[in-house]
């Protein structure tokens, strides 16, 4: 596997992991955090999907970084924000206002500036 494939696989897998996590923990309004709630997460298949995708994404990231410059790899991380927004709109039916899209793009630009040489 080339380093670039590992890098993109890591970014995409990390995005998918976040959507898995959201699917697993759902939406709640409870202002208390009970031990029972935490335990119930262990029984959620989606949460396990998040866990393993997250581990795999981290491993792929380390693999990519061992070959690529961090100043090249790091700005590409910001594509993950756009990817997660698209996934959450399609699979979680999240309503994303145009102002949120603009905010996401501004954050992406900032990350590219932070990471660049």
**Which is nearer to other proteins, 25 or 68 (by Cβ)?**
25
**Which is nearer to other proteins, 5 or 55 (by Cβ)?**
55
Report if residue 97 touches other proteins, rule: CB under 8 A: yes
Place of tokens 């080339």: 2
User: How far is it, in rounded angstroms, from Cα 36 to Cα 21?
Assistant: 18
User: How far is it, in rounded angstroms, from Cα 86 to Cα 78?
Assistant: 13
Residue pair 11/53 in contact (Cβ under 8 Å)? The answer is no
Question: How many CA atoms, within 13 angstroms, populate the side-chain half-sphere of residue 91?
Answer: 17
Among 5, 59, 70, 102, binds other proteins (CB under 8 A): 102
Report if residue 49 touches other proteins, rule: CB under 8 A: no
Query: What does the binding site for other proteins look like in residue numbers (CB under 8 A)?
Result: 18-19, 21-22, 25-31, 33, 41, 78, 80-81, 84-85, 88-89, 92, 94-97, 99-100, 102-116
């Amino acid at each position: 596997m080339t380093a670039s494939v590992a890098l993109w696989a890591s970014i995409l897998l990390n995005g998918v992991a976040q959507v898995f996590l959201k699917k697993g923990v759902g939406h709640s309004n409870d202002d208390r955090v009970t031990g029972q709630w935490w335990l119930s997460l262990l029984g959620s298949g989606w949460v396990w999907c998040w866990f393993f995708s997250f581990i795999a994404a981290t491993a792929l990231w380390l693999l990519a970084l061992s070959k690529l410059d961090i100043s090249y790899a790091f700005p590409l991380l910001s594509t993950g924000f756009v990817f997660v927004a698209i996934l959450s709109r399609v699979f979680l039916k999240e309503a994303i206002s145009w102002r949120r899209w603009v905010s996401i793009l501004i954050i992406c630009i900032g990350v590219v500036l932070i990471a660049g040489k």
